[in-house]
Structure 1
Amino acid sequence: MANASDEFRLASSGIDHEGRLPRKYTGDGQGTKRDISPPLEWYNVPEGTKSLALVVEDIDAPDPNDSLVPWTVWVVVNIPPSLKGLPEGFSGKEENMGGDYANIKEGHTDFKVPGWRAPKMPSPGHRFEFKLYALDDELNLGNKVTKEKLLEAIEGRVVGEAVLMAVN
């Protein structure tokens, strides 16, 4: 049995010790201090991982018909396993960063635009689920990446998953 220190884990120094996602990371922030993607760090990427993919969802988003449907906040694919994380404010800047960041691609959210977009919160207490997939291959999903395309493409390719929860 692997102990917890060997476990594939996802963490964020931007989420406070109570597990809260600060306002600057959502549509509730002010001016330039809003819709900033939070910093993420990961540990113990499984052996055989060729790329990482991230899906972030607000899992308490209300549907107009009153049921809860996850709202996609961020999709990121082709993250090289050599990276140990993504810096705060990474979203929208990957092309300028070069190096290991050069092939990373951000997908479209449920706002129909690429990049990190956390909705304005009608009520507090929404849970955000950050899910990092370790994959045995790189993905080629074309120009418009979506969560649906990603989840279809990774079937049978996942060598590990790490989940982080945060609350607004």
Structure 2
Amino acid sequence: MASDQDQFQLASSQINQEARLPRKYTQEGQGAKKNISPPLEWYNVPQGTKSLALVVEDIDVPDPSRPIVPWTHWVVVNIPPTLKGLPEGFSGEEEEVGGDYAGIKEGNNDWKVPGWRGPMLPSHGHRFVFKLYALDDELHLGNKVTKEKVLESIEGHVLADAELLANF
């Protein structure tokens, strides 16, 4: 059994012990800052990882016809395993950032637009799961990347996954 020090982990310097998502990462915003993607970092990427994929969901969205349907806030694929994280405000900037970030692709969230979209009222009290997958291959999903496409194409390719929970 791997010890905690060896385990694949996902963290954020901005999501504190109470796991609160700061307002600048939400649609409500904090001063001039609003809807900024939070910084993320990861540790102990498994050997053999060819790419990383990230899916962020609100797991407490009620649906009138069904009890809970997770709402997708962010999908990011083909993150090089050599990277140690994504900087704050990365979403929407991948072309400008370039370099090691150049091959990364942001998929559509459940608002049908690419990139990070933070929570807003009436979502207070909801839990957000940031889930990072270490994959043994790169994903080739065409132009329109969605959570459904990602989850379908990673089947059988996940070496490990790491989760970070935040509350809004």
The verdict on a shared fold, with TM-score over 0.5 as the criterion, is yes
Cα displacement (A) at 1:63: 1.7
4+ long deviations beyond 6 Å = none
Give, in whole Å, the separation in 2 of the partners of 1:18 and 1:151: 29
Structure 2 residue 155 is matched with structure 1 residue 155? yes
Residue 10 (structure 2) aligns with: 10
Give, in whole Å, the separation in 1 of the partners of 2:119 and 2:62: 12
Q: Deviations over 1:7-56 (max 9, x none)?
A: 00000011122110011111111464111000000000001000000000
Residue 136 (structure 2) aligns with: 136
The letter of the residue matching 2:142 is G
Give, in whole Å, the separation in 1 of the partners of 2:123 and 2:153: 34
Give, in whole Å, the separation in 1 of the partners of 2:32 and 2:140: 33
List aligned pairs for 1:109-128, cutoff 5 A: 109-128=109-128
Identity %: 73
List aligned pairs for 1:1-168, cutoff 5 A: 1-30=1-30, 32-65=32-65, 67-168=67-168
Q: Deviations over 1:45-83 (max 9, x none)?
A: 001000000000000112243622100000000000000
Q: Deviations over 1:66-125 (max 9, x none)?
A: 622100000000000000000000000011111110000000000000000023130421
Q: What SS does the aligned partner of 1:82 have?
A: coil
TM-score, normalization by structure 2: 0.96
Give, in whole Å, the separation in 1 of the partners of 2:29 and 2:160: 33
Give, in whole Å, the separation in 1 of the partners of 2:56 and 2:141: 18
Question: Which shifted more, 122-131 or 33-42?
Answer: 122-131
**Structure 2 residue ranges without an equivalent (≥5):** none
Distance 1:151 1:99, change over 3 A: same
TM-score, normalization by structure 1: 0.96
Question: Which shifted more, 76-85 or 63-72?
Answer: 63-72
Root-mean-square deviation (CA, aligned residues, Å) is 1.2
Report how many residues are paired: 168
Give, in whole Å, the separation in 1 of the partners of 2:123 and 2:156: 37
Distance 1:158 1:28, change over 3 A: same
Q: What SS does the aligned partner of 1:6 have?
A: coil
The letter of the residue matching 2:154 is I
**Structure 1 residue ranges without an equivalent (≥5):** none
